[in-house]
Structure 1
Amino acid sequence: MELDSPSLERASSRVEPGVPAEARAERPADAGRVLDRTKLLAARLKAAGSQPYLASALYSLTVVPSYGVPSMGVDRHWRCYVNPAFVDATPVFELAAVWVHEVAHLLRDHHGRAGLLAPELRHDHHRINIAQDCEINDDISALPSNALRPSMFDLPDGRMFEQYLPGIPPSRHQPECGSGAHGHRMPWEVSDAARVSPVEAAAIRRQTANEMRAHAKARGRIPAGWRRWADEILEPTVDWRRALTGAVREAASWASGAVDYTYQRPSRRGSAVPRVVFPSLRRPMPRVAVVVDTSGSMGDGELRAVLGEVAGVLRTVGIGRNRVTVLSCDADVHAVRRANTVGDVVLEGGGGTDMRVGIEQAMRTQERPHIIIVLTDGYTPWPESRPGNVRVIAGVVGEGADPPPSWIETVTIPLDQVSAGQH
């Protein structure tokens, strides 16, 4: 968490015992003080006292003094890096709020969720960090006035960072909460301090969620963001991005396992039999057709957002864009083209809805696909049976429509999460 503080430039010749060697090497000659652990831990005690349901998580953090971190930051192993000069310059009540802020990144699994973003978004960890701070800070009242909040970007409170991200412009703000937030390892993060394993982290999250629910029943005072988070932990819904990635990955593995014979590369066994050419076995690279529902019930912004997610999923699975064909379809097929980027896709249509014609057209393309992905709101008739030996995956945007046939692998895409996919 980045906070301005002139005290970060205070000079001191004392060396803090226990500071990692790499942190000491990176420390400016005129910066730093001995870490005031009494003040820092008093702030943690205050944070745990004001929000007792966070106590288990707060006390799971390992404190690591660091002159490289601007203020406080966390890595994905639940180490909390603290600049001693920042502790000196910050009142205890604000330090308590920063403790809550940093542990929130870990409890909400921000680094894990950041890894699910489209590749073109993942590299900009400053924008991701800003969006994550907006998700957290609207539930924390004691933070300093310059802490990042949704209102600074004309965004509403109460949303997830994936929803905030498209509305975050390039900014002069440079928050740095560490790999525990945005997933990028920072130079001041070390590897020899105590760590919390992923299994232990999952247990901490569940314990914290149970304590929140118990606290809400007894006192009824839980910030809305934390209440929503606890409900998701205790009654989880399937993340559609993970489900879609898993479905495409499994279908791609299935397709690439369908070996066939080819004479383009003769078998090496043929050398043992003169004048006889033996075929070799080949493992095909999957081809994908994406049928996009462009009927009047589907919004253009929603379509492009979901299409951007699918493009990211295909890249993650390793299917190159030269293997992907996109078809725009309502009651008829309006555009068929090989798509290099989402911007190349022509979304034409706006009439009725019949995804059967899109699937049939995909099967008639020159290079028959191994996988067909259909993006639709679900209000469409479907083929009566699987089209040949082809896997069909339906990404159904929104709820209310009748489910596709059982032979279609279906992933439900909630409307309120669509905006997180494309910027």
Structure 2
Amino acid sequence: METAETVEESPRLDRTKLLAARYRAAKDRPYLASALYSLTVVESRRVPTMGVDRRWRCYVSPGFVAATTVPELAGVWIHEVSHLLRDHHGRSDRLPAADQRDHLRVNIAQDCEINDDILSDGLELPGGTMSPGRFGMPDGLMFEAYLRLLPEEVGSADCGSGAHGVERPWEEGGHGGGVGDVEADALRRATAEAMRSHRRARGSLPGGWQRWAEEILQPTVDWRRVLAGAVREALAWAGGAVDYTYSRPSRRSGALRGVVLPSLRRPMPRVAVVVDTSGSMGDDDLAAALAEISGVLKEVGVGRERVSVLACDADVQAARRVTSADQVELLGGGGTDMRVGIEAALRAPQRPQVVVVLTDGYTPWPAEPSSARVVAALIGDAPPEPPPWIESVRVTR
């Protein structure tokens, strides 16, 4: 990380002091111990202070170690490993090309994401440390947001390719060892588990780390992509059912005089959308899920004439048929029994092969699977899971 003053090179690295600082960091923040001890120390007189590469090698300036106190070095150890745990180099690779070219500015934004947690946690850092308050920005944001808020002239910081993703001259030289991608992911998950245990035992964890641990242990998935994939897969399963028809005789019939052979046909499946209209459902979430389902059906060629929409009335525990998803209204109340809607869909004269259920999950489900494929889009913060034979997708805000 970058500090305000330049440190003169010293003849040799004080490893005892450096490793004592790492021990202090691991002792004070035990949930970071595994990650800290996975860093490989590389002495370098070309690195400004300390920096990391993508393979978890930590390059250390002897002069910087000589001029920095052990408590401050402990904070720097935590700062550098934070770049790697938060996958800053991987996230930098996904930035627009213009931002990637200004990698030192990206590094400052990343420092702001890290240092607000370090300082609020009562740890020490050397003078000149980059923090959100230094630029009049709020704490608690991701570096991608800080990158947009930083003023034009912000100086520079260089924590290495393990932060901003661009290999630095002091990383050259073919140093062996390091941590691979698979091991790095395992370290991130182990650290997140340790943070969760620490929080349960002691009840305190910096906000940024808490958010990070939750994301690692329960990664956010784009529910639209998952829901679309589930509906497509169910339609492909239903469309795979073939049958014989004499409406189009087989081309092989010409080879058999006086015999008409049937041909195989692959019918377009029928789809029923069953909608929970109870008061616990949210208008915006319901509309988003309906729009996603409608888009998928249109994309795969299932016309409106092959789609039925049923609204489960929360008050009378009945299902009413509507002509389109646009006519679905939230009726209020609660205690909807989605079995009513599913059974009504399956009793239709033109029985659907795929049933998509939109619900908050607080409903009884059929006791046994049916011949139709059932996909449940669970809307809300913490919906209960349906039976295992129902494919479920969580629609999150």
* Aligned partner (choices 77, 84, 105) of residue 99 of structure 1: 77
* Aligned partner (choices 25, 35, 40) of residue 47 of structure 1: 25
Cα displacement (A) at 1:64: 0.3
Tell me how many residue pairs correspond in the alignment. Answer: 245
Contact 1:74–1:102 (Cα < 8 Å) also in 2:
yes
The residue identity in structure 2 corresponding to 1:5 is E
1:4 equivalent in structure 2: 4
Cα displacement (A) at 1:192: 2.2
1:234 is aligned to 2:212: no
Normalising by the residue count of structure 2, what TM-score does the alignment of the two structures yield? 0.56
1:118 equivalent in structure 2: 96
1:216 equivalent in structure 2: 199
The residue identity in structure 2 corresponding to 1:386 is E
User: How has the CA–CA distance of structure 1 residues 168 and 34 changed in structure 2, closer, same or farther, with 3 Å as cutoff?
Assistant: same
* Higher Rg of the two aligned structures: 2
RMSD: 3.1
1:166 equivalent in structure 2: 148
Cα displacement (A) at 1:144: 2.9
Contact 1:114–1:183 (Cα < 8 Å) also in 2:
yes
User: How has the CA–CA distance of structure 1 residues 218 and 182 changed in structure 2, closer, same or farther, with 3 Å as cutoff?
Assistant: same
1:59 is aligned to 2:37: yes
Q: Give aligned-pair identity as a percent.
A: 55
Task: Provide the secondary structure at the position in 2 that maps to 1:64.
Answer: strand
Q: Distance in 2 between matches of 1:201 and 1:128?
A: 22
Contact 1:75–1:189 (Cα < 8 Å) also in 2:
yes
Map 1:336-415 to 2 at 5 A: 385-386=298-299
Normalising by the residue count of structure 1, what TM-score does the alignment of the two structures yield? 0.53
Q: Distance in 2 between matches of 1:138 and 1:379?
A: 41
Q: Distance in 2 between matches of 1:171 and 1:413?
A: 42
Cα displacement (A) at 1:123: 1.3
Q: Distance in 2 between matches of 1:238 and 1:380?
A: 18
1:178 is aligned to 2:160: yes
Q: Distance in 2 between matches of 1:217 and 1:5?
A: 40
Contact 1:58–1:99 (Cα < 8 Å) also in 2:
yes
Contact 1:209–1:234 (Cα < 8 Å) also in 2:
yes
Contact 1:79–1:193 (Cα < 8 Å) also in 2:
no
1:202 is aligned to 2:185: yes
1:80 is aligned to 2:62: no
Contact 2:21–2:74 (Cα < 8 Å) also in 1:
yes
1:147 equivalent in structure 2: 129
User: How has the CA–CA distance of structure 1 residues 232 and 380 changed in structure 2, closer, same or farther, with 3 Å as cutoff?
Assistant: closer
Unaligned runs of 5+ in 2: 230-286, 302-329, 331-356, 359-374, 376-393
Q: Distance in 2 between matches of 1:66 and 1:92?
A: 19
Task: Provide the secondary structure at the position in 2 that maps to 1:67.
Answer: coil
1:35 equivalent in structure 2: 13
User: How has the CA–CA distance of structure 1 residues 377 and 149 changed in structure 2, closer, same or farther, with 3 Å as cutoff?
Assistant: farther
Task: Provide the secondary structure at the position in 1 that maps to 2:4.
Answer: coil
